[in-house]
């Protein structure tokens, strides 16, 4: 990243347009799915105290409930980091929290409840990605519940700006198609210095809201998963190339190095690590570069996290609850250097900018999480010394009557203090 704002400590894998945290994180915000009969049963933004000198270190210290369950999933800060936008996949609501006024106690200040109508039919807002003065919301679905998806822009004030549909074979919108264009969406991330945006692809509401056991038995439904990534002219918001990346490519992580023009993703159904890269002639391609665990056992890679020095990639797999660490200093030849079972199920991973603190959460989707004793719901914090993880603290979100913890984001009071 050739930027501009002073280099500071923060978590990796965030929008490059965002203000960065100076020093250590004070809080970890956890966007948490409500569970019927547990606490207030509602989705909520939980504040976990990450200040080691605090008497409440490692404890949940606040929960901002939004009322009701909306399939809480991902979210993100605005570019000035004063707001956290949290999306609900089931009813397409977007909850906007003020995290600046009182960073330990985020406050719900606005709800966008007409996302589908204003966007022209996009549904299932997935994440929230900071652009200058705006937020980019990739959708997973549409008002019909299929996987046709869009990127929807809002101003930081929460007003609708524009919708950009993912390209399909019927409506390629000028894109070159390698194999197919399914029009599905998931993640969207920008490499500003190349004016490139990458998007990945998951599945529509008809699949992600369905119990996983039923879904896996439905051969036709299982065909309706993403097989593509799209390279966009970011400034023009126009798709240029639809890459063939079979197996459901999910999280996208751009390398940070100023000469590193590549990104990693993992494919959930084929358990492979993929490298997406621009060649010397400006052409983009994707290729698998490593297996993640034993693909034949369907470990289902979910979140990944790339270190700020582009050398270490953490990869979580949901089914076996394991995190694997790859040395990716040679991006063409990732090499696994460590693995550890974190719990019975595992989804998100966030790491600090210095790579020393790693946080994990457990929940994938309300209907896809494991059941019975394997339905562990936790946030677990570790230190990483380059060789192994050592436990710092753990929070049982069921025992705390909070819910299913999903997306994590770091907060710091110093961002806003005079």
Rule CB under 8 A: which residues touch other proteins? 1-6, 16-17, 19, 79-80, 82, 100, 131-134, 153, 155-157, 159, 161-162, 192-196, 233, 235-238, 282, 416, 418
In residues, how long is the chain? 418
CB 46 within 8 A of CB 34: no
Please, which residue, 238 or 285, has the CB nearer to other proteins?
238
In the complex, least distance from residue 165 CB atom to other proteins, rounded to whole angstroms: 13
Rounded alpha-carbon distances, angstroms, from residue 377 to 46, 49, 73, 339, 397: 14, 18, 14, 20, 5
Least distance in angstroms from the C-beta of 263 to other proteins: 16
Q: How far is the CB of 56 from other proteins (least distance, A)?
A: 26
Nearest distance from C-beta of residue 167 to other proteins, angstroms: 15
Q: Give the C-alpha separation, 179 to 169, whole Å.
A: 10
Q: With contact defined as beta carbons under 8 Å apart, do 400 and 35 qualify?
A: no
* Residue 147 beta carbon to other proteins: minimum distance, rounded to whole angstroms: 25
CB-nearer residue toward other proteins: 133 or 257: 133
DSSP string covering 283-296, please? Answer: -EEEEEEEE-S-GG
Note whether 52 and 31 are within 8 A (CB).
Answer: no
Phi-psi region of 310 (alpha: psi -120 to 50; beta: other; left: phi over 0): left
> Between the CA of residue 417 and those of 79, 309, 412, what are the distances in Å?
17, 29, 9
Of residues 56 and 101, the one with the C-beta less far from other proteins: 101
User: Closest approach of Cβ 52 to other proteins, in Å?
Assistant: 24
Residue among 82 and 210 whose Cβ is closer to other proteins: 82
Q: Which residue's CB is nearer to other proteins, number 133 or number 213?
A: 133
Q: Judge whether 280 and 267 are in contact, CB under 8 Å.
A: no
Point out which residues pair with 336 in neighbouring strands.
326
Minimum CB separation of residue 387 from other proteins in Å reads 35
Residue with tokens 């050398």, as numbered in its chain: 311
Closer by beta carbon to other proteins, 235 or else 335: 235
Asked if 304 and 266 count as a contact pair (C-beta separation under 8 A), the reply is yes
Give the span between the Cα atoms of 37 and 29, in whole angstroms: 23
Closer residue to other proteins in complex, CB, 35/94 = 94
Residues 362, 5: Cα–Cα separation, whole Å = 33
Cα 108 to Cα 31: distance, rounded to the nearest angstrom: 13
Output the smallest distance, CB 156 to other proteins, in A: 5
- Nearer to other proteins (CB atom), residue 106 or residue 249: 106
């Amino acid at each position: 990243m050739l930027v501009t704002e002073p280099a500071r400590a923060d978590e990796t894998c965030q929008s490059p347009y965002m203000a960065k945290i100076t020093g250590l994180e004070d809080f970890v915000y956890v966007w948490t799915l409500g569970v019927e009969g547990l606490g207030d049963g509602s989705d909520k933004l939980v504040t976990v105290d990450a200040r080691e000198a605090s008497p409440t270190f490692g404890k949940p210290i606040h929960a901002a409930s939004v009322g009701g369950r909306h399939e809480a999933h991902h979210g993100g800060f605005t570019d000035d980091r004063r707001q956290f936008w949290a999306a609900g996949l089931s009813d397409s609501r977007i909850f906007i929290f003020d995290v600046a006024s009182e960073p330990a106690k985020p406050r719900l200040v606005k709800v966008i409840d007409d996302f589908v109508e204003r966007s022209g039919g996009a549904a299932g807002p997935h994440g929230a990605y900071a652009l200058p003065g705006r937020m980019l919301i990739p959708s997973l679905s549409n008002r019909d519940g299929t996987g046709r998806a869009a990127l929807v822009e809002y101003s930081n004030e929460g007003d609708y700006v524009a919708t950009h549909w993912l390209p399909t074979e019927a409506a390629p919108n000028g894109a070159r198609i390698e194999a197919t264009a399914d029009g599905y969406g998931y993640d969207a991330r920008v490499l500003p210095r190349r004016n490139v945006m990458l998007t990945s692809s998951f599945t529509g509401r008809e699949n992600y809201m369905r119990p996983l056991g039923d879904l896996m038995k439905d051969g036709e439904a299982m065909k309706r998963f993403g097989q593509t990534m799209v390279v966009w002219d970011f400034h023009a918001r126009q798709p240029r190339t639809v890459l063939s990346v079979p197996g459901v490519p999910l999280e996208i992580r751009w390398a940070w190095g100023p000469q590193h023009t590549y990104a990693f993703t993992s494919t959930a159904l084929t358990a492979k690590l993929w490298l997406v890269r621009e060649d010397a002639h400006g052409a983009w391609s994707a290729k698998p570069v490593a297996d993640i665990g034993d693909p034949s056992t369907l470990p289902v890679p979910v979140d990944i996290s790339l270190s700020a020095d582009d050398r270490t990639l953490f990869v979580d797999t949901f089914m076996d609850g394991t995190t694997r660490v790859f040395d990716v200093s040679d991006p063409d030849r990732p090499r696994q250097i460590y693995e550890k079972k974190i719990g019975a199920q595992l989804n998100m991973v966030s790491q600090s900018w210095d790579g020393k603190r790693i946080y994990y959460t457990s929940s994938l989707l309300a209907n896809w999480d494991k059941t019975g004793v394997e339905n562990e719901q936790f946030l677990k914090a570790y230190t990483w010394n380059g060789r192994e993880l050592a436990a710092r603290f753990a929070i049982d979100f069921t025992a705390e009557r909070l819910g299913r913890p999903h997306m994590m984001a770091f907060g710091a009071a110093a961002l806003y203090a005079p």
